[in-house]
Amino acid sequence: MNNTNETWETTTFEGRKIVMRSLVGSCSANLNTPESDEDYKYFVAPTFDDLYTGKMFATSSVTPTLDYDVHDIRQLANLLWKANLNFIGALMTIDFIVDDLLFIRDNADALASMNMPYLYNSTMGMHFEKMSKLEKGTGNTQILVDTFGYDTKQACHAMRCLFVLHRIASGMTVREALWFEDGNRRDMLLGIKAGNMTLVEFEEYVALWRAIHDEPVKVWFAEQKANEYLKTQLDNSIKEFIRVNI
């Protein structure tokens, strides 16, 4: 395995070779706090049996300190084409190991931006999903709802979606837009996460932001062209990788 002189803490999941690992979540956006857990995404090569039966291996684990999910590498091209921030961010993270035989590391920035119109749609969809869950809470965030009246972690993610889209439309690369250096935007997101706003104040802030920025951001993304050729190159790279490694 070639992985740019880095090592895997484990080499397989249920007999499937790991070919990509990324730190995602708040740690990869510079929005982590001492209470933050670590989130990882893994991609694995299929076994012969997976190919024969058409199975796409997937598994996940959630603990108080470490979360991870695992996917078949054959899914990566479509996941990046759909431009979900959770997977786009997996290419931009500070902790990223990938097999050098894959068409990924040297093309990460291009792959992250290969379908800008879809990036807008999927990120806005994520924003609305987070907004719809503000008062629900989960096993790990119910304490936030009990303390602040809403899930401030979900609120932080919801606002981050809007900030990322605006930053890209304003001229930042996807990599730059996903990483929040010290400054007003980072302070705002961490303040939301810490419960510095009431639910009403947060919803009013979101409404005002969208009233000002929604239309120009939407227009900018609609004017971008998807790079179907790059998607085909990635598909072919993964196909050849599996052929060589099966």
Could you please report the per-residue DSSP string of 158-224? HHHHHHHHHHHHTT--HHHHHS--SSHHHHHHHHHHTT-S-HHHHHHHHHHHHHHHHHHHHHHHHT-
Half-sphere exposure of 98 (CA within 13 A, CB side): 23
Res 8: pLDDT: 52
* Domains of the chain, start order: 12-114+227-245 (3.30.460), 116-222 (no CATH)
Specify the pLDDT at position 173. 97
Judged by phi (left if over 0) then psi (alpha if -120 to 50, else beta), residue 56 lies in beta
CA distance linking residue 37 with residue 25, whole number of Å:
9
Burial tier of 97 (Cβ tally within 10 Å: 0-12, 13-18, 19+)? buried
Residues (pLDDT < 50) of the chain are: 1-6
pLDDT value at residue 3: 38
| pLDDT score of 63 | 80
- What is the average pLDDT score of the chain? 92
pTM of the entire structure? Answer: 0.90
Interhelix angle for 184-193 vs 152-169, to 10°? Answer: 160
State residue 141's pLDDT score: 87
Query: Looking at residue 50, what is its pLDDT?
Result: 96
